[in-house]
Structure 1
Amino acid sequence: MTDQEASGRRLTTQEAAERLGVKPETVYAYVSRGQLSSVRAPGGRGSTFDAAEIEALARRSGRREPQPAIGDLVFRTGITLIEKGRYYFRGVDAAELARHHGYEEIAEWLWTGELRHGTRFTAPPQLLEPARRAVGALPAHSSAMDRLRVAAIAAAAADPLRFDLSTEAVLGTARSLIPTLAEALPYVGEPRGTGPIAWQLWPRLTMRPPDEAWLRALDTALALLIDHDLAASTLAARVAASARAHPYAVVSAGLGALEGPLHGAASGLAHRMLAEVLERGGAAPVVADHLRVGRPVPGLGHRLYQGEDPRARTLLQLLEEIPDASAALAAARDVVTTTARHTDSHANVDLALAVLSVSSGMPAEAGETVFAVARTAGWIAHALEEYAERPLRMRPSGHYTGPRPPQPVPSAG
């Protein structure tokens, strides 16, 4: 809670105790010592306390909000809120931000709280050239995620100042690393020259020449995917930052977790399904095949949203303005409608990414690439938060289930 949020608010005794991390009796002890003031609640039942006073006392006493119950993992964060079917960046509707601002502008907003119109990131040659050489040395069958991980490691090795964790240094790294990751990928289409991240990324994903509508769709996808609270990859990034790993290592940790089929790679599954729907002329046989073998239908449902994923809704609405996306859009709607006969599932962002990748001639892994480049900005935002916390605070204890000691020293067979 900020001082502005606390101004004028009244807290009950229980709320004050929870904020201070003490028992209600201790709150009244603070009143008797003159450390807090109280006002009798309407109706004479209990007292109320000024929220700003409680916040000030919490800071003076070093108290934090109470820790969650054992088995929960909750962190204080001022980056992303997911609530009532919507998500917010620093309190602003993230989907609305993506409709009106570019990826780089929103990344800066997430990092600094300032929105700078026309923000552009540039890859410095001292990072980009080693990253390209390292990526170029990989086998031809290497995936885009392989290339992104290698690019991050090569850029780190080329930066002798990577261990500077001051805010300005980390921001400088972020502004250099994101374009380096995008531009280290090999071209599959015609180079487009300098421009925003979406402009740089497009010819590395498809041979199709872009127009303004396609580039806007890709830029919006990047903006929508910047952060989504503590997803698995973001948690991995925060653990690395808690150990005071440098930003390149934080991003590498995020990339490692992202590659799982239940996270960043999920859009590839949706891409292949959508391509099959188009090939077979309808969603029914494809959905039936998934249901027959007990596989979930890709691109549907999200544990954080009861209805449609707001990221999917925003991107699909934008793709409706592109005539060449109409066939893939119709296939996606067919999947949703067909599946709705059996379960109440809605489109998620993986299905929207699949519509983008299928209709623009991108490969199945393109959605994962977009996800990874976009989410790098979110991992940096969480790293900045974590660098301001007590180091190594994420040290859970293991619950040992092995043989009880003492056990005899094993002998070789």
Structure 2
Amino acid sequence: MAERLTTQQVAEQLGVKVETVYAYASRGQLSSERAPGGKGSTFDAREVAELAARGRRTPMRPNAAGEPPAGEPWASRPVTVRTGLTLIENGRLYYRGQDAVELAARHGFEAAIGWLWGLGSDAPVTLRVPPATAEALARASAALPDGIRLPDRLRISATVAAALDPLRFDLREQTVQAAGAALIAGMVEALPRTAPDPGPDASLAARLWSRLASAAPAPEALACLDRALVLLMDHELAVSAVAARVAASARAHPYAVVSAGLGATDGPLHGAASPLAHRLLGEVLVGGAVPVVSDYLRTGRPIPGLGHRLYPEGDPRAVALLDAVGRLDGGAAVVAAVAEVEAAAGPAGRPALRANIDLALAAMALAAGMPAEAGEVVFAVARTPGWLAHAVEEYREEPLRMRARGSYTGPRPSEGPERPEHPVPSSS
């Protein structure tokens, strides 16, 4: 029989606590058996040796205090992301314990950022770009060829703003927040203006509206955009937040963190889903939901903007935003089109699929006369303070803790240098 070790012996061999040994067993990294007499557990000595060897092969990295990571071999330590920012529970979304829908109904974007950043909702964040940075962003924008997509302009603006900030590697919380506030304003400043200038003292929602719409907004329209920004600030560990935290784990500066988040939104499954939903709704408004949805199903295309695995009973953000869209001039028809899509896409005999925030963003853009990419822009600008908040949290953790381990499936290295089967004649 293979040698068996007690729990205490395993802990001593691995250099970990007894509790960690049981955690290994619960994750399937060690197999345990009840000890004779039923007291305690025993473990296969070979498995323990292999686990210890894996830990030795992976260099241990110091934590923020310069000390080795405690508790267990670095290679097998699971990454637990502790966050005090966002909770999704019982079909609701909360920012620091505050219902996001209620926060969006009472406060604008600047005040909501203050709440998310731990400053309180009565401490709205001033979103202003320094004059020198604004001039550089304007020059960079003017130099771009015609036809550059608005989301791509946001990515360029983050790079330009980073190059102009000599303090970008100062990762103290207040410095990161100050840089982030200027960056959020700079991202909007980098977009071409398409409507009358609301002035430098206007809310960020008003400034963003002047880059996405062709006419000045009615009060209810501006309130609708402001609500969308608040509802989209953060969404727990969405893929863009994970990308941002990975960058922050490597101690990338806040501009690079935002660039990482922006990169993760460039696919159709996160962030860039709204333009697809915009096209769908546009077709429905012209030809009705049933033939449009039927064509999607016939061609095997997923119907954009429907359903969310975290909200099986419906996305509360979408409900709140569609309520605001319905109050816009022409918004009722767009909201009715959303309901038609929900009904047409629902399986027979089952509850209809519900609109998610991507479809609600598309509805807002259509009702406001904005281009298809407007929803993607609103998503990116709104999510930026969330990425920065995640970065601040991650800067407090061990550096480089977000490194995943690969399970190699390629060919094994050869034991020695490769030799051809048949000698190659010399040319000399």
TM tier relative to shorter chain: 0.7 to 0.9
3-state SS of 1:323 partner = coil
1:366-405 deviations in Å (ceiling 9; x for gaps): 0000000000000000000000001110111211111111
Q: Does 1:347 align with 2:355?
A: yes
1:228 to partner: Cα distance? 0.2
3-state SS of 2:168 partner = coil
1:306-361 deviations in Å (ceiling 9; x for gaps): 11101101111122222321111111111111112446411100111011001111
Equivalent residue letter for 1:262: L
Aligned equivalents of 2:195, 2:360: Cα separation in 1: 23
Aligned equivalents of 1:148, 1:191: Cα separation in 2: 19
Change beyond 3 A, Cα 1:115–1:138: same
Equivalent residue letter for 2:413: P
What is the RMSD computed on CA atoms of the aligned residues?
A: 2.7
Q: Which residue of 2 aligns with 1:215?
A: 222
Pick from 272, 278, 281: which aligns with 1:271? 278
1:272 to partner: Cα distance? 0.4
1:138 to partner: Cα distance? 1.5
Aligned equivalents of 2:71, 2:105: Cα separation in 1: 35
Change beyond 3 A, Cα 1:292–1:110: same
1:206 to partner: Cα distance? 1.2
Aligned equivalents of 1:370, 1:24: Cα separation in 2: 44
Equivalent residue letter for 1:162: R
Change beyond 3 A, Cα 1:73–1:367: farther
Q: Does 1:102 align with 2:108?
A: yes
3-state SS of 2:418 partner = coil
3-state SS of 2:370 partner = coil
1:24-48 deviations in Å (ceiling 9; x for gaps): 999xxxxxxxxxxxxxxxxxxxxxx
Larger Rg over CA atoms: 2
Q: Which residue of 1 aligns with 2:342?
A: 336
Change beyond 3 A, Cα 1:211–1:120: farther
3-state SS of 1:112 partner = coil
So what's the TM-score if we normalise by structure 1? Answer: 0.81
Q: Does 1:261 align with 2:268?
A: yes
Q: Which residue of 1 aligns with 2:37?
A: none
Q: Which residue of 1 aligns with 2:65?
A: none
Change beyond 3 A, Cα 1:409–1:73: farther
Describe how 1:210-359 pairs up with structure 2 within 5 A.
210-280=217-287, 282-342=288-348, 344-359=352-367
**Which runs of no fewer than 5 residues in structure 1 stay unpaired?**
1-19, 27-61
Aligned equivalents of 1:131, 1:315: Cα separation in 2: 31
Aligned equivalents of 1:114, 1:297: Cα separation in 2: 39
Aligned equivalents of 2:375, 2:264: Cα separation in 1: 16
Change beyond 3 A, Cα 1:409–1:229: farther
Q: Does 1:389 align with 2:397?
A: yes
1:102-151 deviations in Å (ceiling 9; x for gaps): 11111111112422255431111122221222222111111111100110
Q: Which residue of 1 aligns with 2:56?
A: none
Q: Does 1:405 align with 2:405?
A: no
Change beyond 3 A, Cα 1:189–1:244: same
1:121–1:175 contact (8 Å) kept in structure 2: yes
Pick from 138, 141, 148: which aligns with 2:154? 148
1:35-72 deviations in Å (ceiling 9; x for gaps): xxxxxxxxxxxxxxxxxxxxxxxxxxx999999xx898
3-state SS of 2:88 partner = strand
Aligned equivalents of 1:76, 1:66: Cα separation in 2: 19
1:201-227 deviations in Å (ceiling 9; x for gaps): 001101032011000000000000000
1:336–1:347 contact (8 Å) kept in structure 2: yes
Q: Does 1:371 align with 2:418?
A: no
1:81–1:89 contact (8 Å) kept in structure 2: yes
Per mean C-alpha deviation after superposition, the further-off stretch among 369-378 and 181-190 is 181-190
3-state SS of 2:330 partner = helix
Change beyond 3 A, Cα 1:345–1:23: same
